[in-house]
Amino acid sequence: MTARTAPPPARRRRAGGLGPSPWWGYAMIAPAFIGLAALYLWPFLKTFAKSFMDTPAFGPGTWTGLDNYTDLLGDGDFWQAFGNSGIYTAILLLGVPIATVLAALIQQISRGRAVYRVLYFLPVVTLPVAISMVWRFIYNGDFGLLNWVLSLFGVQGQYWVADDAYAIYAIGVVGIWMSLGVNLIILGAGLQSIPPELYEASSMDGAGRVRQFFKITLPLLSPSVFLVTVLTVISALQMFDLVFVMLRSVDNTALDGSKTIVYLFYEKAFVQFDQGYGAAIAVVLLLVIMLATVLQFRLQRRWVFYD
Amino acid sequence: MRHSKRRSAAAAVAATALVLAGCSGGGDGDEVTLTYATWSDDQKPAMEAIAEAFEADHPDVDVEVQVLPWPEYWSTLQVGAAGRTAPDAFWMLADQFPAYAEGGQLLDIADAVADADVDLSAYPESVMDLYDTGDALYGLPKDFDTNAVWFNKALFDAAGVAYPDDTWTWEDARAAAQELTDADAGVWGIAAPIDRQGGYYNSIYQAGGQVIGDDGKAAIDTPEAVAGIEFWTRMQADGSSPTLQQLSDTEAVQMFMDGKVAMYFSGSFWAQRLYGDEALRPNVGVAPLPMGEQRASMISGILNAGYAGSEHPEELAEFLIFASGEEAARLQGESGAVLPAYDGTQQTWLDAMPEFDLQVFVDAVEYSVPLPIAGNAAEWTGLETEYLAPAWNGEQTAAEAAAAYNAAIDEVLAE
C-alpha cells in the first residue's frame, strides 16, 4: 500500500523522551512486524525468487535467470492481458469524477443522506456471485435487460459478456458500480471537512451551485480525489474477481480475449502449474503499479491543493 | 515487577503453545483424524455416509468431510500440497493427476491394496487407464461418467420427430436437429458448444480418429479427427444450434433445462440435476450417442487419492480402499449423485432414478475411451476455444482450425 497521507512533520523531542534505550521500541512493534514479515515480506521474497526459476508443479525449481521475463515479453497473451487491464483501469478512472459529483450531490441532501450512502455501499458488501448473476442477466444478449431497454430506442443490442469485443468494457461498468461505495465514503469524509462558511460567503457574493462546486468544492476536495484516484488505479490493475465470476462459465468463449493481468497470473500459476512464469507476471505487475503510483505522486503537485 | 512480567510472558507463550498443540493433536489420546476433501455439495450426504460407515469399522479414526467450492478446489489443493497442509484424502481428476503423481504428492497404496486383496478388475479398465502410472497405485476410482444423448421428449413430439435410439447414425442426428429447430419459437435441435468431454472428442473417436496419437503427439488434424469436428461445425452451420455467443450467455445444460434445445450430448453426471426438476423429469429421455464409423464415448472418473505427506498413511490407505469399495459404491449409487465405479453396484444408481433409461450410460462403458491426457493437459486444453471457435463460427474450415490447434498442442507437448 502506498502512503495514504503525508507523514506528520517530525518533531524533535528531548533526548531520552522515549525511555532509556531504543530496543524497547522495536520490541513493541515486533509482533506486528513479525506478522507482516511472515505474511507479506516472506511471500514477496519467495515470489521474487521464483520469478527467476523454472518450477515444476511441486518441489524446488531450477534457476533459469531472466528466461521467464524474456518469454513474457514475447507472449501475446501477456500483452493482451496488459491491454485489458489498462482498458479496465481507464474505465474505472472515469468513475472518479462520477463519484465526486455524486458525493457533492449527496452532501446537498438535507434528509435521508444515509439512505443514499447505504444504497451506493450495498454492492461493496454483496456477494460477488450474486452480483455476477444479476449483471449476467442484465447483459444477456437474447433476453437481457440492457438489450431490452436499447430495443425501445431501436438500438441493436450486443452479446455484452459473450463477445470479447465488448466484455472488458461491460465488466468495467460493473467495476465502476462496485467501487462507488468506498469512493463515496472517502469523498464524503473529505466534503465534511470543508468549512460551510466558505459556501455561505460565496453565495452572498453571488456564486451559484456550479461555480461553488468548481471554485470551492473541487480544490478543497482535491486531496481526497487524489487519494481515490491512487487507490482506484492500484485496485483496478489488480482486478481478477469480475473476470473470474462473470466470464468463467463452462462454455464462455469471450474469456480468451478478456483476461486481465491477474487472471493470467492465476491461470499460469494455479491452473497450468507454471508458478515461475506466474511469479514473473506478478513482479512485472508490481513494478507497473509502483510506477503508476510514483507518477501520480509527481503529477499531484500540479493539481492537488493542500491548505 | 520485572519477574512477574517475565512470568506472565512465559505463561502466554505456554498457553499459545498449548492452543497450537490442541489444533494439530486432535484432542484425546491416540484418535486419528483424516480429512477428506471434495468439491460437490450434491454428493456431501453420500460422502458423509461413507465416512460414518468407515468410522463404524474403525472406532479410533475420525473422518472429516470437507466440501471446497469448485473454483477454489484445485488452487487450494495445490497450495496445500506445497505447504504440507493438504487434506489427507481428496478427489483427483485425470487431467490434474500427472502433475501430482510426478510431483510425488500422492500416497502409493499398491502394497495396502495387495494386502487387502482388492479386486482391481472390479473397476472399469478405461478409468484405471486414466490413472495408470506403471508400478505405483495412487488411489482407486470412486465413480465414472460416460456420455449419451439427453433429449427433450416434448420437443420431439411437438416437431413430430422420432426419438433417438441405438440405431441412430450421425446423419440421423443431423437431420433430426434440423427438423427440430424452430427459430420463431426460439427452439434449437441441439446444443453444439466447444465441449471436449461431452462433444467433439466423442465424435473424433467415433470417426476413427484420435486427439493424441499413439506416438504421444497431437493427432487432431488427421482426416478422421477433422470429420469428428465437422460433426459439430455442421450443426452450427445448419443453424441447428444456438451460437457460441448464445451458449456463452446461457450454458448448454441450462438451455436444455429451459426447453430451448431438444438434444444435449453430455455426461451421466447431469442425471441427478435433471431428475430433480420435477416439471422437466417426465420429458427427459436418454439414448446412446449416434454411430459414426464406430461407437465411442469418453469416459472419465474421479479417483480417491491420498496425500503423500499425511501423518497417518496406514489409516489413510485403509480409508481410500474403503471409500472406493463395494459398500461405499452402494451408498453413492443409492444417493443418485453419481454412477459408482465398483462393478455390480451400478444398479443402485439406476434404481434411484427409475424414470430415466440410465442403463445407456452403463452400456457405454463397453465402447468407452479414456479422456485423452498428455503433458500439461490443462495448458493445451486451455487453448481450445482460441483455435477452434473460428471453425464453430464459420470463419475457418474445420480442417484449418484443427491444423492450427494441432500445431499449438504439439508446441505445448514439446515443452
Predicted pLDDT of residue A2? 43
Predicted pLDDT of residue A307? 67
A218-272 pLDDT, tens per residue?
999 999 999 999 999 999 999 998 998 888 766 688 888 899 999 999 999 888 8
> Has residue A57 been placed in a domain?
no
C-alpha cell at A181: 461505495
Predicted pLDDT of residue B246? 92
Average pLDDT in the B25-35 region? 67
How many CA atoms, within 13 angstroms, populate the side-chain half-sphere of residue A95?
Answer: 27
Q: Which residues of B touch A273 (CB under 8 A)?
A: 78, 99, 376, 378
Nearest-Cα residue of chain B relative to residue A247: B248
CB contact under 8 Å between B382 and A159, yes or no, is: no
Query: Residues B396, B400, B403, CA angle at the centre, nearest 5°?
Result: 145
B254: Cβ–Cβ under 8 A, 6 or more apart, which residues? none
| Range(s) of the domain holding residue A89 | 75-303
CB contact under 8 Å between A250 and B252, yes or no, is: yes
B80-100 pLDDT, tens per residue?
998 889 999 999 999 889 889
> Has residue A226 been placed in a domain?
yes
A129-175 pLDDT, tens per residue?
888 889 999 999 888 999 999 999 999 989 999 888 999 999 999 99
Contact assessment for residue B298 and residue B368, using Cβ atoms and an 8 Å cutoff: yes
DSSP-derived pairing of the beta strands B32-38 and B89-92: parallel
Chain B touched by A57 (CB under 8 Å): yes
A118-131 pLDDT, tens per residue?
899 999 888 878 88
Q: How confident is the model at residue B18 (pLDDT cuts 50, 70, 90)?
A: very low
> Has residue A5 been placed in a domain?
no
Phi, psi of B178 (to 5 degrees): -65, -45
**CATH number for position A284:** 1.10.3720.10
Q: Which of B16, B249, B260, B395 to mutate to test the interface with A (most CBs of A within 10 A)?
A: B249
Write the residue in A57, A163, A254 that is nearest to B103 by C-beta.
Answer: A57
Instruction: State how far the Cα of B284 lies from the Cα of B207, in Å rounded to an integer.
Output: 27
- For chain B, positions 42-71, list CB contacts with chain A under 8 A: 71
B361-375 pLDDT, tens per residue?
999 999 999 999 888
Predicted pLDDT of residue A249? 67
CB contact under 8 Å between A253 and B385, yes or no, is: yes
Q: Which of B248, B307, B381, B415 to mutate to test the interface with A (most CBs of A within 10 A)?
A: B248
Instruction: Indicate the Cα dihedral angle B120, B126, B127, B132, nearest 10°.
Output: 70
Q: Which residue has the higher pLDDT, A9 or A214?
A: A214
The mean predicted confidence, pLDDT, of chain B is: 89
pLDDT for B28 beyond 50: no
CB contact under 8 Å between B195 and A251, yes or no, is: yes
C-alpha cell at B97: 493427476
> How far A179 CA sits from the closest chain B CA (Å)?
24
Q: Which residues of A touch B415 (CB under 8 A)?
A: none
- What is the percent of chain B with per-residue pLDDT over 90, rounded to a whole number? 78
Write the residue in A58, A252, A253 that is nearest to B81 by C-beta.
Answer: A58
Q: How confident is the model at residue A25 (pLDDT cuts 50, 70, 90)?
A: confident
* CA-closest candidate to residue A229, choices A297, A277, A291: A297
Predicted pLDDT of residue B364? 94
Q: How confident is the model at residue A19 (pLDDT cuts 50, 70, 90)?
A: low
> Has residue A100 been placed in a domain?
yes
Enter the pTM of the model.
0.85
Chain A touched by B193 (CB under 8 Å): yes
Predicted pLDDT of residue A20? 63
- For chain B, positions 86-145, list CB contacts with chain A under 8 A: 99-100, 102-105
CB contact under 8 Å between B245 and A256, yes or no, is: no
CB contact under 8 Å between B99 and A57, yes or no, is: yes
pLDDT for B27 beyond 80: no
Q: Which residues of B touch A138 (CB under 8 A)?
A: none
pLDDT for B22 beyond 70: no
Average pLDDT in the A187-194 region? 91
Work out how many domains chain A is built from and give that number.
Answer: 1
Question: Tell me, what amino acid is at B157?
Answer: D
Instruction: State how far the Cα of B289 lies from the Cα of B297, in Å rounded to an integer.
Output: 7
Q: How confident is the model at residue B17 (pLDDT cuts 50, 70, 90)?
A: very low
Task: Say which residue the cell 506403471 belongs to.
Answer: B134
CB contact under 8 Å between B103 and A252, yes or no, is: no
Chain B touched by A249 (CB under 8 Å): yes
- For chain B, positions 245-274, list CB contacts with chain A under 8 A: 245-252
> How far B121 CA sits from the closest chain A CA (Å)?
31
| Longest pairwise C-alpha distance within chain B | 94
> Has residue A163 been placed in a domain?
yes
CB contact under 8 Å between A57 and B102, yes or no, is: yes
> How far B335 CA sits from the closest chain A CA (Å)?
25
> Has residue A164 been placed in a domain?
yes
For B269-318, give the DSSP string.
GGHHHHHH-TTTGGGEEEEPPPBSSS--EEEB--EEEEBTT-S-HHHHHH
CB atoms within 10 A of CB A143: 11
Contact assessment for residue A281 and residue A264, using Cβ atoms and an 8 Å cutoff: yes
CB contact under 8 Å between B252 and A255, yes or no, is: no
CB contact under 8 Å between B249 and A140, yes or no, is: yes
Q: How confident is the model at residue B3 (pLDDT cuts 50, 70, 90)?
A: very low
Q: Which residues of B touch A270 (CB under 8 A)?
A: 74-75, 78
> Has residue A37 been placed in a domain?
no
Instruction: State how far the Cα of A191 lies from the Cα of A224, in Å rounded to an integer.
Output: 9
Q: Which residues of A touch B195 (CB under 8 A)?
A: 250-251
Contact assessment for residue B275 and residue B335, using Cβ atoms and an 8 Å cutoff: no
B304-332 pLDDT, tens per residue?
999 999 999 999 999 999 999 999 999 99
CB contact under 8 Å between A272 and B195, yes or no, is: no
**Domains along chain B with CATH numbers:** 31-144+301-343 (3.40.190.10), 147-298+374-414 (3.40.190.10)
Average pLDDT in the A67-74 region? 93
Q: Which residues of A touch B382 (CB under 8 A)?
A: 267, 271-272
Q: How confident is the model at residue A21 (pLDDT cuts 50, 70, 90)?
A: confident
Contact assessment for residue A199 and residue A183, using Cβ atoms and an 8 Å cutoff: no
Q: Which residue has the higher pLDDT, B56 or A8?
A: B56
